[in-house]
Protein backbone atom coordinates (compact mmCIF):
# COMPACT_ATOMS: atom_id res chain seq x y z
CA UNK A 1 0.00 0.00 0.00
CA UNK A 2 1.44 3.39 -1.01
CA UNK A 3 0.81 6.61 0.84
CA UNK A 4 1.80 10.26 0.89
CA UNK A 5 2.52 10.53 4.63
CA UNK A 6 3.98 7.85 6.86
CA UNK A 7 3.03 7.09 10.45
CA UNK A 8 2.46 10.58 11.85
CA UNK A 9 0.16 10.02 14.82
CA UNK A 10 -0.95 7.50 17.39
CA UNK A 11 -4.73 7.43 17.49
CA UNK A 12 -6.32 5.67 20.44
CA UNK A 13 -10.01 5.30 21.17
CA UNK A 14 -13.15 6.03 19.17
CA UNK A 15 -13.31 9.66 20.31
CA UNK A 16 -10.28 10.49 18.20
CA UNK A 17 -12.07 9.21 15.13
CA UNK A 18 -15.05 11.45 15.78
CA UNK A 19 -12.91 14.53 16.38
CA UNK A 20 -10.62 14.04 13.37
CA UNK A 21 -10.84 17.10 11.13
CA UNK A 22 -13.98 17.25 9.03
CA UNK A 23 -13.89 18.11 5.35
CA UNK A 24 -17.03 20.23 5.46
CA UNK A 25 -15.31 23.52 4.51
CA UNK A 26 -16.47 25.27 1.37
CA UNK A 27 -13.86 27.96 0.62
CA UNK A 28 -10.17 27.98 -0.28
CA UNK A 29 -7.42 30.53 -0.80
CA UNK A 30 -6.09 31.12 -4.31
CA UNK A 31 -3.13 28.82 -3.57
CA UNK A 32 -5.45 25.94 -2.65
CA UNK A 33 -5.11 26.31 1.11
CA UNK A 34 -8.39 25.57 2.93
CA UNK A 35 -10.12 28.62 4.43
CA UNK A 36 -13.03 26.94 6.19
CA UNK A 37 -13.45 29.43 9.04
CA UNK A 38 -12.77 33.06 9.79
CA UNK A 39 -12.73 35.29 12.89
CA UNK A 40 -15.90 37.36 12.82
CA UNK A 41 -16.46 40.95 13.91
CA UNK A 42 -17.29 39.72 17.42
CA UNK A 43 -13.88 38.08 17.70
CA UNK A 44 -15.30 34.55 17.51
CA UNK A 45 -14.58 31.92 14.88
CA UNK A 46 -17.36 31.18 12.39
CA UNK A 47 -17.83 29.46 9.06
CA UNK A 48 -16.53 31.36 6.04
CA UNK A 49 -19.30 32.99 3.98
CA UNK A 50 -19.67 34.11 0.39
CA UNK A 51 -19.38 37.74 1.56
CA UNK A 52 -15.93 36.87 2.92
CA UNK A 53 -15.07 35.18 -0.39
CA UNK A 54 -15.89 38.37 -2.32
CA UNK A 55 -13.66 40.47 -0.07
CA UNK A 56 -10.76 38.01 0.13
CA UNK A 57 -10.84 36.50 -3.35
CA UNK A 58 -11.59 33.01 -2.04
CA UNK A 59 -12.50 30.08 -4.27
CA UNK A 60 -15.55 27.84 -3.84
CA UNK A 61 -15.03 24.13 -3.37
CA UNK A 62 -16.08 21.63 -6.01
CA UNK A 63 -18.86 20.31 -3.78
CA UNK A 64 -20.14 23.84 -3.07
CA UNK A 65 -20.48 24.52 -6.80
CA UNK A 66 -22.14 21.17 -7.43
CA UNK A 67 -24.51 21.88 -4.54
CA UNK A 68 -26.51 24.01 -6.98
CA UNK A 69 -27.71 20.83 -8.69
CA UNK A 70 -31.04 19.32 -7.79
CA UNK A 71 -30.66 15.89 -6.16
CA UNK A 72 -34.02 14.12 -6.55
CA UNK A 73 -32.83 10.95 -4.82
CA UNK A 74 -31.74 12.87 -1.73
CA UNK A 75 -34.91 14.96 -1.69
CA UNK A 76 -37.04 11.82 -1.88
CA UNK A 77 -35.11 10.32 1.05
CA UNK A 78 -35.62 13.50 3.12
CA UNK A 79 -39.36 13.44 2.39
CA UNK A 80 -39.54 9.78 3.39
CA UNK A 81 -37.85 10.52 6.73
CA UNK A 82 -40.40 13.27 7.45
CA UNK A 83 -43.28 10.92 6.66
CA UNK A 84 -41.82 8.15 8.83
CA UNK A 85 -41.28 10.58 11.70
CA UNK A 86 -44.90 11.75 11.47
CA UNK A 87 -46.05 8.13 11.85
CA UNK A 88 -43.95 7.50 14.95
CA UNK A 89 -44.67 10.85 16.63
CA UNK A 90 -48.42 11.17 17.00
CA UNK A 91 -49.81 14.57 17.78
CA UNK A 92 -50.29 15.14 21.51
CA UNK A 93 -53.66 16.12 22.92
CA UNK A 94 -54.29 19.84 22.37
CA UNK A 95 -50.81 20.22 20.84
CA UNK A 96 -50.68 23.11 18.34
CA UNK A 97 -50.07 21.90 14.81
CA UNK A 98 -46.98 24.12 14.49
CA UNK A 99 -45.42 22.49 17.59
CA UNK A 100 -46.14 18.98 16.29
CA UNK A 101 -44.69 19.77 12.87
CA UNK A 102 -41.56 21.15 14.55
CA UNK A 103 -41.14 17.90 16.52
CA UNK A 104 -41.59 15.83 13.36
CA UNK A 105 -39.02 17.84 11.40
CA UNK A 106 -36.48 17.70 14.25
CA UNK A 107 -36.93 13.94 14.60
CA UNK A 108 -36.55 13.35 10.86
CA UNK A 109 -33.36 15.40 10.81
CA UNK A 110 -31.86 13.26 13.58
CA UNK A 111 -31.85 10.29 11.21
CA UNK A 112 -29.89 12.27 8.63
CA UNK A 113 -27.51 13.51 11.31
CA UNK A 114 -26.78 9.96 12.44
CA UNK A 115 -26.14 8.92 8.83
CA UNK A 116 -23.82 11.88 8.28
CA UNK A 117 -21.89 11.09 11.44
CA UNK A 118 -21.43 7.47 10.38
CA UNK A 119 -20.31 8.56 6.94
CA UNK A 120 -17.89 11.15 8.34
CA UNK A 121 -16.36 8.59 10.68
CA UNK A 122 -15.91 6.07 7.87
CA UNK A 123 -14.32 8.72 5.63
CA UNK A 124 -11.97 9.71 8.41
CA UNK A 125 -10.96 6.12 9.13
CA UNK A 126 -10.29 5.48 5.42
CA UNK A 127 -8.13 8.61 5.27
CA UNK A 128 -6.19 7.53 8.34
CA UNK A 129 -5.70 4.06 6.90
CA UNK A 130 -4.41 5.23 3.50
CA UNK A 131 -2.12 7.69 5.29
CA UNK A 132 -0.77 4.76 7.32
CA UNK A 133 -1.62 6.49 10.58
CA UNK A 134 -1.34 4.05 13.47
CA UNK A 135 -4.51 2.76 15.09
CA UNK A 136 -4.65 -0.27 17.40
CA UNK A 137 -7.22 -1.88 15.11
CA UNK A 138 -8.84 -0.85 11.85
CA UNK A 139 -12.35 -1.88 10.78
CA UNK A 140 -12.51 -4.67 8.21
CA UNK A 141 -13.88 -2.34 5.51
CA UNK A 142 -10.50 -0.57 5.29
CA UNK A 143 -8.60 -3.73 4.33
CA UNK A 144 -11.39 -4.80 1.98
CA UNK A 145 -11.40 -1.41 0.25
CA UNK A 146 -7.63 -1.39 -0.22
CA UNK A 147 -7.80 -4.90 -1.71
CA UNK A 148 -10.61 -3.86 -4.08
CA UNK A 149 -8.65 -0.81 -5.24
CA UNK A 150 -5.51 -2.88 -5.80
CA UNK A 151 -7.43 -5.47 -7.82
CA UNK A 152 -9.08 -2.76 -9.93
CA UNK A 153 -6.18 -0.31 -10.46
CA UNK A 154 -3.08 -2.33 -9.58
CA UNK A 155 -0.48 -1.23 -7.03
CA UNK A 156 -0.56 2.54 -6.55
CA UNK A 157 1.12 5.16 -4.38
CA UNK A 158 -2.09 6.68 -2.99
CA UNK A 159 -2.23 10.31 -1.87
CA UNK A 160 -5.03 11.45 0.41
CA UNK A 161 -6.75 14.82 0.74
CA UNK A 162 -4.39 16.89 -1.39
CA UNK A 163 -5.89 20.35 -1.90
CA UNK A 164 -5.66 22.34 -5.14
CA UNK A 165 -6.83 25.53 -6.83
CA UNK A 166 -7.78 25.77 -10.50
CA UNK A 167 -7.36 28.92 -12.68
CA UNK A 168 -11.07 28.84 -13.57
CA UNK A 169 -11.87 29.83 -10.00
CA UNK A 170 -12.61 26.73 -7.94
CA UNK A 171 -10.72 24.53 -5.49
CA UNK A 172 -11.07 21.41 -3.43
CA UNK A 173 -9.58 18.31 -1.84
CA UNK A 174 -9.76 14.85 -3.36
CA UNK A 175 -10.30 11.80 -1.15
CA UNK A 176 -7.69 9.70 -2.91
CA UNK A 177 -5.56 9.95 -6.03
CA UNK A 178 -2.46 8.55 -7.67
CA UNK A 179 0.04 10.47 -9.80
CA UNK A 180 -0.32 7.58 -12.25
CA UNK A 181 -3.59 9.23 -13.25
CA UNK A 182 -6.32 7.92 -10.95
CA UNK A 183 -8.90 9.91 -8.98
CA UNK A 184 -11.13 8.30 -6.36
CA UNK A 185 -13.96 9.65 -4.23
CA UNK A 186 -15.38 7.61 -1.35
CA UNK A 187 -19.13 7.44 -0.76
CA UNK A 188 -20.31 5.68 2.37
CA UNK A 189 -23.73 4.07 2.69
CA UNK A 190 -25.42 1.77 5.16
CA UNK A 191 -26.37 -0.54 2.28
CA UNK A 192 -24.99 -0.70 -1.27
CA UNK A 193 -28.04 -2.47 -2.69
CA UNK A 194 -29.00 0.51 -4.87
CA UNK A 195 -25.60 2.23 -5.12
CA UNK A 196 -25.32 4.12 -8.41
CA UNK A 197 -23.37 6.93 -10.05
CA UNK A 198 -25.19 10.24 -10.57
CA UNK A 199 -24.34 13.38 -12.54
CA UNK A 200 -23.02 15.15 -9.46
CA UNK A 201 -20.54 12.32 -8.89
CA UNK A 202 -19.21 12.59 -12.44
CA UNK A 203 -18.87 16.37 -12.18
CA UNK A 204 -17.10 16.06 -8.85
CA UNK A 205 -14.57 13.52 -10.13
CA UNK A 206 -13.68 15.35 -13.34
CA UNK A 207 -13.40 18.70 -11.52
CA UNK A 208 -10.93 17.05 -9.15
CA UNK A 209 -9.04 15.51 -12.08
CA UNK A 210 -8.63 18.89 -13.82
CA UNK A 211 -7.83 20.56 -10.50
CA UNK A 212 -5.03 18.06 -9.95
CA UNK A 213 -3.79 18.63 -13.53
CA UNK A 214 -4.79 15.14 -14.63
CA UNK A 215 -7.54 15.84 -17.20
CA UNK A 216 -7.54 12.30 -18.60
CA UNK A 217 -7.31 10.49 -15.26
CA UNK A 218 -9.24 7.32 -14.63
CA UNK A 219 -11.98 8.30 -12.19
CA UNK A 220 -14.10 6.17 -9.90
CA UNK A 221 -16.69 6.45 -7.17
CA UNK A 222 -15.90 3.90 -4.45
CA UNK A 223 -18.94 3.00 -2.38
CA UNK A 224 -18.12 1.61 1.06
CA UNK A 225 -20.41 0.10 3.66
CA UNK A 226 -19.59 -1.94 6.74
CA UNK A 227 -20.05 -5.12 4.69
CA UNK A 228 -19.23 -4.31 1.06
CA UNK A 229 -17.10 -2.19 -1.29
CA UNK A 230 -18.09 -1.33 -4.88
CA UNK A 231 -15.94 0.48 -7.44
CA UNK A 232 -17.80 2.37 -10.18
CA UNK A 233 -15.33 3.67 -12.79
CA UNK A 234 -16.61 6.38 -15.15
CA UNK A 235 -15.97 6.33 -18.89
CA UNK A 236 -13.82 9.08 -20.42
CA UNK A 237 -16.73 10.08 -22.64
CA UNK A 238 -18.97 10.72 -19.63
CA UNK A 239 -16.16 12.46 -17.76
CA UNK A 240 -15.42 14.94 -20.55
CA UNK A 241 -19.12 15.66 -20.95
CA UNK A 242 -19.20 16.21 -17.19
CA UNK A 243 -16.31 18.68 -17.45
CA UNK A 244 -18.32 20.85 -19.85
CA UNK A 245 -21.30 20.64 -17.51
CA UNK A 246 -19.18 21.60 -14.49
CA UNK A 247 -17.71 24.64 -16.26
CA UNK A 248 -21.20 25.90 -17.06
CA UNK A 249 -22.28 25.35 -13.46
CA UNK A 250 -19.17 27.15 -12.20
CA UNK A 251 -19.94 30.21 -14.37
CA UNK A 252 -23.50 30.26 -13.02
CA UNK A 253 -22.27 29.91 -9.42
CA UNK A 254 -19.74 32.72 -9.69
CA UNK A 255 -22.18 35.08 -11.44
CA UNK A 256 -24.95 34.27 -8.97
CA UNK A 257 -22.70 34.99 -5.98
CA UNK A 258 -21.01 38.10 -7.35
CA UNK A 259 -17.58 36.51 -7.74
CA UNK A 260 -15.11 37.59 -10.41
CA UNK A 261 -15.53 35.45 -13.52
CA UNK A 262 -12.63 33.63 -15.12
CA UNK A 263 -12.55 32.63 -18.80
CA UNK A 264 -13.69 29.12 -19.59
CA UNK A 265 -11.06 26.57 -20.52
CA UNK A 266 -11.03 24.57 -23.70
- The CATH number linked to 95 is 3.90.320
Structural domain includes residue 2? no
What residue numbers bound the domain in which 55 lies? 14-256
| 263 within domain boundaries | no
Residues of the chain with pLDDT under 70: 1-25, 74, 111-112, 262-266
Between CA 175 and CA 119 the distance in angstroms is 13
Distance, in Å, from the CA atom of 106 to the CA atom of 125, rounded to the nearest integer, reads: 28
Question: Virtual CA dihedral for 143, 144, 150, 155, nearest 10 degrees?
Answer: 0
Measure the CA angle with vertex 219, ends 26 and 33; round to 5°. Answer: 30
Residue 129 has a pLDDT of 97
Distance of CA 16 to the CA centre of its chain: 20
196 within a domain of the structure (yes/no): yes
Kind and range of the H or E element at 187? strand 182-188
261 located within any domain:
no
Q: Decide if 262 is inside a domain.
A: no
Tell me, what DSSP letter sits at residue 13? Answer: S
Is 264 a member of any domain? no
In a domain? residue 239: yes
pTM of this prediction? 0.81
Q: Is residue 62 part of a domain?
A: yes
CB 216 within 8 A of CB 251: no
Q: What is the tens place of the pLDDT at every residue in 129-152?
A: 999 999 999 999 999 999 999 999
90: helix, strand or coil? coil
Number of domains in the chain: 1
Amino acid sequence: MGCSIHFKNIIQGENMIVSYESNSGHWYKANGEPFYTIIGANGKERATRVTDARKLGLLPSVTTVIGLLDKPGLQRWVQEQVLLASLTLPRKENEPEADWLKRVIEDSRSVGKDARNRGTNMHNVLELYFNQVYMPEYPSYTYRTEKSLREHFGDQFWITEESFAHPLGYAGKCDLHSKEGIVVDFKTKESLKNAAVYDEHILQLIAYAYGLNMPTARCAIVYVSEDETQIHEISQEDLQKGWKMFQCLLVFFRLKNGLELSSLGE
